[in-house]
Amino acid sequence: DAMVIQNPRYQVTQFGKPVTLSCSQTLNHNVMYWYQQKSSQAPKLLFHYYDKDFNNEADTPDNFQSRRPNTSFCFLDIRSPGLGDAAMYLCATSSSGSDSPLHFGNGTRLTVT
Amino acid sequence: QKEVEQNSGPLSVPEGAIASLNCTYSDRGSQSFFWYRQYSGKSPELIMFIYSNGDKEDGRFTAQLNKASQYVSLLIRDSQPSDSATYLCAVNVDSSASKIIFGSGTRLSIRP
């Protein structure tokens, strides 16, 4: 089945220690998104790629970076995680077109110790 | 700042009744609207999408869109305990860049 896969499912990192979350897709969608979701809050868009075009949200901290080396893969790098970065990180994809819904991976739960 | 607003709830509805969930959005140019269901600790899953004014029905679910009022709603008929979840309204606020943002969600509880 075509899908969006996030690894790892759970990630524990130390305060200040860089961490990378990964996302892959077999849907061949040209748009890939990273959302951060904290408990009882809305998924917050961090950034997204429309093909190779990177769209960063104005309020996304510089501590968060992303890479998309090809259509299938996208990475979220947190350069110096703080305790406030503990959250569920959701990767999603969509095809282009305003009526295209998001297809989510299972998420990565990040814990910062 | 483009925003999507939802009543956080919790909304408690008896089993078998109709649950009504509401969402408003700030950007009049928004074209596409989505409803997602999210169980605790899980990813959101798509229930419906709508982009034309009026009603769209899919089984027990009906989405309603009123662009003039910048309002979108979701009705769940014959509510079941398995419908208990958080319902997220999502809006494509920039169709050229496929930028989709979420409301904070409404927590729905179906009581037996």
pLDDT digits (tens, 9 = 90+) for A16-34: 999 999 999 999 999 999 9
How far is it, in rounded angstroms, from Cα A46 to Cα B85?
24
Q: In this model, does residue A40 exceed pLDDT 90?
A: no
**Cβ distance A48 to A36 under 8 Å?**
no
Q: Residue A1: which pLDDT band, with cuts at 50, 70 and 90?
A: low
Report yes or no: B11 at the A interface, CB cutoff 8 Å.
no
Q: What residue has token string 């009026």?
A: B54
Q: Which of A34, A53, A98, A109 to mutate to test the interface with B (most CBs of B within 10 A)?
A: A98
Which positions of chain B have pLDDT values less than 50? none
Contact A102 B100 (CB under 8 A): yes
Residues 6+ apart with CB under 8 A from A68: A32, A49, A52, A54, A74, A75
Say yes or no to pLDDT of A2 above 70.
Answer: no
pLDDT value, residue B44: 96
Give the dihedral sign, CA B105/A67/A105/A71: positive
Q: What is the pLDDT of residue A75?
A: 97
**Is A102 close to B105, i.e. CB distance below 8 A?**
no
Residue A8, preceding peptide bond in cis (omega within 30° of 0): yes
Residue A63, pLDDT score: 95
Burial A51-64, CB ≥16 within 10 A → b, else e: eeeebeeeebeeeb
d(CA B35, CA B23): 10
User: What is the mean predicted confidence (pLDDT) over A87-111?
Assistant: 92
Q: What is the pLDDT of residues A58-96, one digit of tens each?
A: 999 999 999 999 999 999 999 999 999 999 999 999 998
CB contact under 8 A, A99 and B32: yes
Token pair of A92 as six digits? 């999603």
Chain A, 61-100: which have a CB under 8 Å from a chain B CB?
Answer: 90, 94, 96-100
In this complex, is the C-beta atom of B66 within 8 Å of any C-beta atom belonging to chain A? no
